[in-house]
């Protein structure tokens, strides 16, 4: 009976695909169908799908088939941007960040700031299929020291008869500070007590063959795979990119302001991103874009695009939002005013996150143009001490009560943001944009080898429609005599 049910379910998935599946895709659908109806304890399935192999469409069909069969599909992703993309690719099925789903947050006890680090929540689901996209971004620890992968596994399998599907692309950059993506390693999951199935999609789908973006991504990925297979990872040849193509262009830096202005006007600022190698270069690009393309003189203006630099948890839902993830993009709706306190500059603003209603919040202006990833430890200490010793605000309130007040203090809970026109590749990971500009003007020597391949592959695959290569060195470009694509 189980085999019959799995067979019918596989047919349901295939009927929802926008293409006729190739043999590799068909085999994966059959395996996923058996997995969904398996009676094995603590089951996990890793799907490693490279760019252009049809993983996105296949996942959308799987989600639709689960809904049609009465099974609950719960979609998760590491960042808010990735969750938004996952939802759009799954025909609007709601998706949430992993943090928002698996942790509960409480104030009052447990920390010097009166805020307890997040603890795993209780999973009350029965017979649910948890599908996690961009799983290659999941590291072993988050900013609070929690093992995110461990906590995700613990949460899913404290439910009743739940299953876990991890979708990723191991050719992309691994989590910051890691050499591999632990959530995509079967042995890592087995050490966590799971029974693991795994599959890899490598065959490029027919409908992707005319894409210059995917041509370059596939070439990068295949060279990486060949180097790994030969064991020759120490002597990796320089990547070779092909351009111009109908959807891939080379951009001279002197032409960049005009081309950016055209893409902003045509597709919207929020649908265009510039990816560069470091936070310092991102800061420089952001300053240039605001001055030379958007002609903005104020430090913060209405319709400025910002990227969140650190996870932010609201004590109570605000405009339907209870959590803003590191990497989320927000738009400034209104600037009420600015002030200086505790050695930092703040602004009171109204922000819009995606399609949610705008909400009022205080932001830290010092991080906007900083060349660092987020506010430094010394700045946090100065802010902490400044608030607790502010007799003008607290008067005769004893120190113990001042400490508790930090939980709701608007300055302590101010949002860390940076300009969001240019970002690092790690910040862009998990998102996709209509137009992607990749800065190739400066590549340090320590970024060569497979590191450069992963960086380029991740940057290139952020583009949905058009890819622009800024000042690529001749050594990275295919010879003009090469066969046209």
Spatial CA neighbour of 203 closest among 14, 30, 54:
54
pLDDT band at 470 (very low <50, low <70, confident <90, very high): very high
pLDDT at res. 81: 81
Q: Tell whether the model's pLDDT for residue 206 goes beyond 80.
A: no
- The larger pLDDT score, comparing residue 408 to residue 352, is at 352
pLDDT band at 139 (very low <50, low <70, confident <90, very high): confident
Spatial CA neighbour of 335 closest among 297, 362, 308, 366:
362
DSSP secondary structure of 108-125: SSSSTTSEEEEEE-----
Cis peptide leading into residue 244 (ω within 30°)? yes
Among 245-259, 381-395, 440-454, the range of highest mean pLDDT: 245-259
Q: Tell whether the model's pLDDT for residue 113 goes beyond 50.
A: no
Q: Mean pLDDT, the chain, as a whole number? A: 90
For the residues 84-100, what does the mean pLDDT come to? 90
**3-state DSSP: the chain helix, strand, coil percent, rounded to 5?**
40, 25, 35
Strand order in the sheet with 433-439: 248-251, 463-470, 433-439, 272-276, 422-424
> Residue 189 corresponds to which tokens in the numbers above?
């999951």
Instruction: Summarize pLDDT for 347-375 with one digit per residue, the tens.
Output: 999 999 988 899 999 999 999 998 888 88
pLDDT at res. 115: 46
pLDDT at res. 79: 85
pLDDT band at 95 (very low <50, low <70, confident <90, very high): very high
pLDDT band at 108 (very low <50, low <70, confident <90, very high): very low
Give the containing element (helix H, strand E) for 66.
helix 55-68
For the residues 147-165, what does the mean pLDDT come to? 95
| Residue ranges matching CATH 3.40.50.300 in the chain | 2-206, 212-297+422-476
Helices and strands, counts by H and E, the chain: 15, 20
DSSP state of 303: T
pLDDT at res. 266: 97
pLDDT at res. 11: 97
- The lowest-confidence range among 108-112, 149-153, 176-180, 312-316 is 108-112
Instruction: Report the distance separating Cα 433 and Cα 427, nearest Å.
Output: 13
pLDDT band at 228 (very low <50, low <70, confident <90, very high): confident
pLDDT at res. 208: 62
Q: Tell whether the model's pLDDT for residue 111 goes beyond 80.
A: no
For the residues 213-237, what does the mean pLDDT come to? 88
pLDDT at res. 41: 85
Q: Tell whether the model's pLDDT for residue 443 goes beyond 90.
A: no
Spatial CA neighbour of 58 closest among 69, 73, 47, 70:
47
Instruction: Summarize pLDDT for 292-334 with one digit per residue, the tens.
Output: 999 999 999 999 999 999 888 777 777 777 778 888 899 999 9
Q: How many Cβ atoms sit within 10 Å of the Cβ of residue 441?
A: 14
Q: Tell whether the model's pLDDT for residue 112 goes beyond 50.
A: no
pLDDT band at 60 (very low <50, low <70, confident <90, very high): very high
Q: Tell whether the model's pLDDT for residue 444 goes beyond 90.
A: no
Report the sign of the C-alpha dihedral through residues 157, 159, 162, 166, in that order.
Answer: negative
For domain 2-206, say whether CATH 3.40.50.300 is its number: yes
Q: Tell whether the model's pLDDT for residue 399 goes beyond 60.
A: yes
- How deeply is 22 buried, as exposed, middle or buried, from its count of CB atoms within 10 A (0-12, 13-18, 19+)? middle
pLDDT band at 114 (very low <50, low <70, confident <90, very high): very low
Q: Tell whether the model's pLDDT for residue 105 goes beyond 90.
A: no
pLDDT at res. 232: 72
Instruction: Summarize pLDDT for 244-289 with one digit per residue, the tens.
Output: 999 999 999 999 999 999 999 999 999 999 999 999 999 999 999 9
- The larger pLDDT score, comparing residue 236 to residue 243, is at 243
Homologous superfamily assigned to 212-297+422-476: P-loop containing nucleotide triphosphate hydrolases (3.40.50.300)
pLDDT at res. 482: 54
């Amino acid at each position: 009976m189980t085999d019959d049910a799995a067979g019918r379910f596989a047919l349901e998935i295939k009927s929802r695909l926008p293409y006729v599946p190739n043999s590799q895709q068909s085999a994966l659908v059959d395996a996923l169908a058996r997995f969904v109806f398996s009676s094995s304890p603590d089951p996990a399935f890793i799907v490693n799908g490279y760019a252009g192999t049809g993983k996105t469409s296949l996942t959308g069909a799987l989600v639709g088939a689960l809904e049609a069969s009465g099974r609950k599909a719960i979609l998760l992703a590491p960042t808010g941007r990735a969750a938004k993309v996952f939802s759009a690719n799954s025909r609007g099925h709601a998706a949430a960040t992993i943090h928002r789903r698996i942790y509960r947050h409480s104030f009052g006890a447990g920390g010097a700031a009166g805020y307890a680090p997040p603890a795993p929540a209780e999973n009350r689901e029965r017979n649910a299929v948890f599908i996690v996209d961009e799983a290659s971004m999941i590291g072993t620890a988050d900013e609070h020291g929690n093992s995110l992968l461990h906590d995700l596994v613990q949460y899913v399998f404290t439910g009743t008869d739940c299953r876990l599907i991890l979708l990723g692309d191991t050719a992309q950059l691994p989590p910051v500070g890691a050499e591999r993506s632990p959530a995509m390693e079967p042995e890592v999951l087995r050490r966590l007590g799971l029974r693991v199935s795994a599959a890899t999609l490598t065959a490029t789908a027919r409908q992707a063959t005319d894409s210059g973006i995917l041509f370059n991504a596939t070439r990068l990925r295949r060279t990486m795979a060949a180097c790994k297979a030969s064991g020759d990872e120490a002597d990796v040849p320089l990547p070779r990119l092909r351009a111009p193509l109908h959807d891939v262009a080379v951009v001279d830096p002197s032409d960049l302001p005009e081309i950016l202005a055209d893409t902003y006007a045509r597709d919207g600022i929020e649908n265009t991103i510039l990816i560069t190698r470091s936070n310092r270069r991102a800061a420089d690009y952001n300053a240039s874009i605001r001055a030379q393309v958007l002609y903005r003189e104020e430090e913060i203006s209405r319709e400025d695009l910002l990227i969140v630099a650190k996870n932010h948890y609201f004590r109570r839902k605000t405009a339907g939002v209870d959590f803003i993830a590191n990497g989320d993009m927000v738009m400034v709706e209104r600037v009420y005013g600015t002030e200086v306190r505790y050695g930092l500059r703040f602004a009171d603003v109204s922000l819009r996150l995606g399609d949610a209603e705008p909400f009022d919040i205080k932001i830290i202006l010092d991080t906007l143009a900083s060349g660092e990833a987020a506010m430094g430890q010394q700045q946090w200490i100065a802010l902490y001490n400044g608030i607790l010793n502010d007799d003008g605000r607290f008067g005769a309130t004893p120190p113990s009560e001042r400490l508790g007040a930090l939980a709701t203090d608007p300055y302590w809970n101010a949002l860390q943001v940076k300009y969001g026109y240019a970002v690092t590749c790690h910040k862009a990971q998990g998102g996709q944009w209509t137009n992607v500009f990749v800065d190739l003007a400066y590549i340090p020597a320590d970024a060569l080898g497979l590191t450069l391949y992963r960086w380029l592959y991740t940057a290139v695959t952020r583009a949905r429609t058009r890819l622009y290569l800024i000042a690529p060195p001749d050594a990275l470009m295919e010879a003009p005599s090469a066969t046209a694509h």
